[in-house]
A and B are shown apart, each in its own frame.
Chain A
Amino acid sequence: MAEAIISANDVRKQFGDVKAVKGISFDVMPGEIFAFLGPNGAGKSTTIKMLTTMLSPTSGKLMMAGHDVTKERDDARKAFGIVFQDPSLDEELTAYENMELHAVLYNIPKLIRKDKIEDLMNLVELWDRKDSLVKTYSGGMRRRLEIARGLLHEPKILFLDEPTLGLDTQTRNLMWDYVKKLSDEKGMTIFFTTHYLDEAEAVAERIAIIDNGLIVAHGTTKQLCKQTNTKTLEQAYLKLTGATPRDESSSSNDGLNFKSARRNKMLR
C-alpha cells in the first residue's frame, strides 16, 4: 500500500483553556480528493491552519509529503499550495505582479517564471487581464487567480478552504471540473473544506467529518450513509453533527474566531 501524503496522528490544539482540536488522526493518500467537513467552530479551520504551518499543534504529529510539519516547516511549505477561505491577494498590485511575487517567494527560477505564470493564467483564463489591478477583479476572477497562484510552485497537495464560498454556479462548476482534472492528470492530492454537501458528495473520494474538535466519522459517501443508515451525504452529516446551528462563539471554537469569541465572552 502507498504511503499517506498527509497524516495526522493524535493532533491537539488548545487556545488558553479552550480545546479547539481534541486529538484527531487521519490519513490522506496521494492523488486523493479529500473533503474535510464540519459545522462552524468544529475545528476545521484550526486543523487546516496546523496543516499549513500557520499554527503549531499543542501536541501530536503532522506529516506532509514525508516532512514533519513542525520540524521541517519550509519543506512542508514547498509541498503544498493553498487557496485560503478569505481572499489573500494584494489588491493594489496587478494580477501578474501577484503571481510574480509568489514565484519569488517560492524560489521559482527566473528563466521559467514568466512561462509558468503565462501557462497558469491562460489556464484560468485571466492572461488577457494580467495587467489589471486585482481590485478591479470580480470575486470569481480573484478565486481563479488564487488557484493559479496556489499551483505556481507545482505543489503535491492543494488545500482549498471553502473555495466556492460566494461563487456563482457557473464558476463553481468550472472550478471543480478543473480541480478534478488536476487530480486525475497530475495526481495532485486535494484537501478541501466546504459547507455545500452536494459539492463534497460529487467531488470527494473520501470524507472526514469533524465536530467539537473530534473526527466523528470518515470514509466514502457510501460508507458514511451506510454507517448512519441514510441516503445522502447531507442526511448522514446532519445525523452525525445534529440539526441545530452552532453558535460561533460557543466554547468550542476554531482559531479564526477564537479572538472574537474571547472578546464576546468578556463582554457577557
Chain B
Amino acid sequence: MEVLYVLWLRQIRRYFRSGSRILGTMGQPILLLLALGYGIGAIYRRAGEGNYLQFLVPGIVTQTVLLSAIFWGIIILQDKRFGFLSEMLVAPVQRIRILLGSAAGGATISIMQGIIVFVVAGLFGFRPYNWALVPLAFLVLIVMSLALTSLGAGIASMVDDFQGFQGINNLIVLPLFFLSSALYPLNDVPTPLRVISTLNPVSYMVDALRCLLSNQTHFGLQKDLIVMAITFAASLYFAVTRFHKIQM
C-alpha cells in the first residue's frame, strides 16, 4: 500500500513544483470558456436554445480532464527516456502497482484541474441547477479521470519519442473533444456527425456531467454511466497490457 502512496505522492509533488504545467493546461479551458461561452452564447440564446454557458461548462470540464489526463502520460515517456523507469522496474515491486500508483497520481491531478475549471466557470456565471447533485458529479469526474489517465498511460507506453506522442495527442485528443457532445447539442447535427459522436465515449462523459450539473441529457444518465464503466475497464486493460510490454 505504501508503494502506491509514494508513487502517487511523486506525481503530486511534481505537479505542484511545475507552475508552467499548471498554467499550460489551464490556459486552454479558460480561453474556451471566454471565447465560446461569451462569443457563441449570444447566438445560442437568439436561436432559442437557452443558456449556452450552462450547456458548455460540463463539456469544458471534460475537455480539461481529457487534456490533462492524456498529457500526463508524457511523464511515463519521460521516465522511459530519462531513466527513472529503469529504477522502478528493477525494484521488487510488481509492474501493475507501479502503473496504478502513478496513474492514480495522474488522475488526481486531472481531478484537481477539473475542479479549478468548475470554480472558474462559477466566476463566469455558471450555476449547477441542484447543489445536492454536485457530489455525484464529482464521482463522475473521478471515474472519467481514471479512464482517461489510463488511456494516456497506455499511449505513452506504446510510443518512444516526444514528437510521436504529440502527434498521437493531436490525433486523439482533438477529435475526442470536437467530435463529442461537448460543444453542441447532438439533436440537430447532421447524421454522420451524430453517429460519430454517439460512438465517442467522451460524449457520454460530457453527458453524465451535464445531466448532473445542468439537467440536460441526450443519452440519459443510466446509459452514460454504463458506457463510462466500460470505457474505464477497457482503458485500464489497455494501459496494463501496454505497460507490461515496455522493455528498457
Interface residues of A (CB under 8 A from B): 49, 52-55, 73-75, 77-78, 82, 84, 86-93, 97, 100-102, 104-107, 133, 149, 255, 259
Contact B84 A88 (CB under 8 A): yes
B90 part of interface (Cβ distance < 8 Å): yes
Contact A82 B92 (CB under 8 A): no
Interface residues of B (CB under 8 A from A): 2-3, 6-7, 10, 13-14, 17-18, 82-84, 86-93, 160, 247-248
Other A-B contacts than A89-B83, A92-B17, A105-B6, 9 sampled, CB-CB below 8 A, are: A55-B247, A77-B91, A82-B90, A84-B87, A88-B86, A93-B10, A97-B13, A102-B91, A106-B91
12 contacts between A and B (CB under 8 A): A52-B90, A54-B89, A54-B247, A90-B84, A93-B10, A93-B13, A93-B14, A102-B91, A104-B3, A105-B88, A105-B92, A133-B17
Contact B86 A54 (CB under 8 A): yes
Contact A105 B91 (CB under 8 A): yes
A211 to B7, CA, bound (A): 39
Contact A88 B247 (CB under 8 A): no
Contact B83 A88 (CB under 8 A): yes
Lowest 4 CB-CB distances: which A-B pairs, in order?
A: A88-B83, A105-B91, A74-B92, A77-B92
Contacts of A107 in B (CB 8 A): 92
A97 to B160, CA, bound (A): 27
A102 to B93, CA, bound (A): 11
A78 to B6, CA, bound (A): 19
Also in contact, A87 and B3, with CB within 8 A (given A105-B88, A106-B91, A107-B92): no
The dominant DSSP class at the B interface is helix
A173 to B88, CA, bound (A): 29
A104 to B4, CA, bound (A): 10
Taking CB as reference atom, which chain B residue is nearest A73?
A: B92
Contacts of A101 in B (CB 8 A): 6-7, 10
Contact A106 B92 (CB under 8 A): yes
Taking CB as reference atom, which chain B residue is nearest A258?
A: B247
Contacts of B82 in A (CB 8 A): 86-88, 91
A92 to B75, CA, bound (A): 11
Contacts of A133 in B (CB 8 A): 17
Taking CB as reference atom, which chain A residue is nearest B91?
A: A105
Give the shortest distance, in Å, between A246 (CB) and chain B (any CB): 22
Taking CB as reference atom, which chain A residue is nearest B89?
A: A54
Contacts of A75 in B (CB 8 A): 92
Taking CB as reference atom, which chain B residue is nearest A85?
A: B83
Give the shortest distance, in Å, between A155 (CB) and chain B (any CB): 11
A53 to B94, CA, bound (A): 12
A86 to B84, CA, bound (A): 9
Contact A54 B248 (CB under 8 A): yes
Taking CB as reference atom, which chain A residue is nearest B246?
A: A54
A86 to B89, CA, bound (A): 15
Contact B10 A105 (CB under 8 A): no
Give the shortest distance, in Å, between B245 (CB) and chain A (any CB): 13
Give the shortest distance, in Å, between A153 (CB) and chain B (any CB): 9
- Which of B86, B90, B160 is in CB contact (< 8 Å) with A259? B160
Give the shortest distance, in Å, between B6 (CB) and chain A (any CB): 5
Taking CB as reference atom, which chain B residue is nearest A88?
A: B83
Contact A90 B10 (CB under 8 A): yes
Most buried by B among A88, A102, A149: A88
Contacts of A55 in B (CB 8 A): 247
A90 to B11, CA, bound (A): 11
Give the shortest distance, in Å, between B55 (CB) and chain A (any CB): 39
Give the shortest distance, in Å, between A221 (CB) and chain B (any CB): 30
- Which of B7, B13, B90, B92 is in CB contact (< 8 Å) with A54? B90
Give the shortest distance, in Å, between B74 (CB) and chain A (any CB): 13
A100 to B6, CA, bound (A): 9
Contacts of A88 in B (CB 8 A): 82-84, 86-87
